[in-house]
Amino acid sequence: MRRWLILAAGLTAQATTSSFLYGLPFLIPTLQTDHRLTLTSAGVLISAPLLGLLLALIAWGAAADRFGERVVMTVGLLLTGVFLLASLALPGFVLFGAGLLVAGACSASVNAASGRVVLGWFSARERGLAMGIRQTAQPIGVGIAAATLPPIADRWGFETAVALPAVLCLMAAALVWLVVVDPPRRPATAAESSSPYTGPRMTTLVRLHLASSTLVVPQFVAATFAVTFLVSARDWSPVAAGQLVAVVQLVGAAGRIAAGVWSDRAGSRMGPMRIIAVLAVVTMLLWGLGDVFDSWLAVAALVAALVVSVTDNGLGFTATAEIAGPFWAGRALGVQNTAQNVAAMAAAPLFGALITGFGYPIALGVAAVFPAVGAVLTPVAGESAARVDTVEVEVRP
């Protein structure tokens, strides 16, 4: 029972930071109308937390490997809430963006440590399910942001909307400190202490990181521009568009759990991941085609893209932890997260510029190329050979 409570606390922590990191795009219409920012400028601003995140992920992962998950998550959540609130007091969007960057760097603690908790408390036969549940945190956090930030910004302003995830982070810090217990681990052997990036596992890990980063692109294109597309191209209100995205995020969360169970039963993380990559290609192309013909297909494919593009994430994280082993998992998950967030950070301004210059169909066609490359890179054949047998740990109820 204990490990499920710890998983719930980790999920809550990740959801609160996700509502900040990935919820700001829902405020793009407010930034455009109330603060006169262009789509490209707004995209750069909301990418600032992701830049901070990717700069700090590996360092936080190393801290989790050395000091444990509980203290790293608690400190990171406290600092995230404090710096996010402090950034609201800074004058001008340049300084505000700098504050967002620092808060994003602090939130990286949860990305590395909460995944490491799953590795420590769950065995391989239920790790796909557990990591799938943990990975529902992002769509849940995005769903919370989609449902709350647009109406709060509409009624009380941009600053009040940004304050909500800051308060949630402070509350999550208290929860983690009270609930999370670091998993039991025996001392590492000499082989287990060696870096997985210098031996025979290196090629598989590098391909996995690259494939996962390409699959992030359709995910963030859909999440970042869903509300903007529905408002500008389909004449929806920002609140209605946010409500649709919030509901769809719950379906995406269920999809992550289903993918985890699928991988447990298949005995493979990479096989299902490759199939999901192909489906992501199809949804992005259909979204663009629907926009060309001004058809209902555009909204249907957008919904499908929001669901499909998030389901692979837990598979990549689970495979990374299993291949790296329990004594390098924090750092390897930091590398995995860094690669993904480099792609995520670039996606908003890059595709904001593509949409502005060439329209949605061309931009979505470009976005479809990335999961196609990811399907090729996914190391299905090398997965079994690269797994570390000693990744199994003692699991207590």
Nearest to 29 by CA among 274, 312, 240, 249: 240
In this prediction, residues 284-313 reach a mean pLDDT of 92
Q: Which fold has domain 2-183+191-391?
A: Growth Hormone; Chain: A; (1.20.1250)
DSSP 340-365: HHHHHHHHHHHHHHHHHHH-HHHHHH
**Assigned token pair, 366:** 């470009």
Q: Can you give the pLDDT at residue 186?
A: 64
% of the chain at pLDDT higher than 70: 94
Does pLDDT of 102 surpass 50? yes
In this prediction, residues 285-292 reach a mean pLDDT of 94
In this prediction, residues 381-397 reach a mean pLDDT of 52
In this prediction, residues 116-128 reach a mean pLDDT of 77
Mean pLDDT, all residues of the chain: 84
Answer for the pair 28, 152: CB distance below 8 angstroms, yes or no: no
Residue type at 3? Answer: R
Tell if the pTM clears 0.85, that is, is over it. no
Nearest to 28 by CA among 227, 201, 215, 193: 227
State the number of CA atoms in the 13 A half-sphere of 28 facing the CB.
Answer: 30
% of the chain at pLDDT higher than 90: 30
Q: Can you give the pLDDT at residue 393?
A: 40
In this prediction, residues 264-293 reach a mean pLDDT of 93
For 247, counting Cβ atoms within 10 Å of its Cβ (0-12 exposed, 13-18 middle, 19+ buried), the class is middle
- Binned at pLDDT 50, 70 and 90, residue 387 comes out as low
In this prediction, residues 4-24 reach a mean pLDDT of 89
CA dist., res. 163 & res. 148, Å (int): 12
- Binned at pLDDT 50, 70 and 90, residue 394 comes out as very low
In this prediction, residues 192-213 reach a mean pLDDT of 84
Q: Where are the alpha helices (DSSP H) in 267-382?
A: 270-292, 297-308, 313-324, 329-358, 360-377
Residue type at 357? Answer: G
The number of beta carbons lying within 10 Å of the beta carbon of residue 346 is 17
Better-scored residue on pLDDT, 297 or 333: 297
Answer for the pair 78, 173: CB distance below 8 angstroms, yes or no: yes
- Binned at pLDDT 50, 70 and 90, residue 209 comes out as very high
Angle at CA 140, nearest 5°, toward 66 and 112?
10
CA dist., res. 279 & res. 308, Å (int): 7
Q: Can you give the pLDDT at residue 385?
A: 61
C-alpha dist (Å) from residue 274 to 252, 259, 287, 328: 17, 12, 21, 25
Does pLDDT of 64 surpass 50? yes
Terminal-residue alpha carbon distance, the chain: 5
Q: Can you give the pLDDT at residue 120?
A: 76
The number of beta carbons lying within 10 Å of the beta carbon of residue 323 is 25
Q: Can you give the pLDDT at residue 325?
A: 76
Answer for the pair 184, 121: CB distance below 8 angstroms, yes or no: no
In this prediction, residues 217-224 reach a mean pLDDT of 89
Does pLDDT of 397 surpass 60? no
15-39 pLDDT, tens digit each? 999 988 888 888 887 777 777 777 7
C-alpha dist (Å) from residue 145 to 20, 96, 179, 250, 288: 8, 19, 25, 12, 25
Q: Can you give the pLDDT at residue 126?
A: 81
Q: Can you give the pLDDT at residue 187?
A: 64
